[in-house]
Amino acid sequence: MLAEHSLLRAARRAGRRVTFANPFTARLLRGGRGGPAAAFGDHPGGARRGRAAARRRRPLRRGGLLLDVLRDSFRRWAPEVEPVEAEVAGRHLAALAAGHDLVLWETFMTDLAGHRRWGWSAEEALGRLDGLLAGVLAHRAPELTVLLVSDHGNLEAAGHRSHTRTRCPCWRSAPTR
Give 26 or 144, the one with higher predicted confidence.
144
- Once rounded to an integer, what is the mean pLDDT over residues 24-38? 50
Helices (H) and strands (E) in the chain, counts: 7, 4
The DSSP annotation for 9-31 comes to: HHHHHTT--EEE-S---HHHH--
Query: Is pLDDT at 16 greater than 90 in this prediction?
Result: yes
Give this prediction's pTM: 0.78
Instruction: Extract the runs of DSSP E, i.e. beta strands, from the chain.
Output: 18-20, 102-104, 146-148, 171-173
- Once rounded to an integer, what is the mean pLDDT over residues 119-148? 91
Taking only the tens place, the pLDDT of each residue in 46-92 is 444 445 555 445 656 656 788 899 988 877 777 777 889 999 999 99
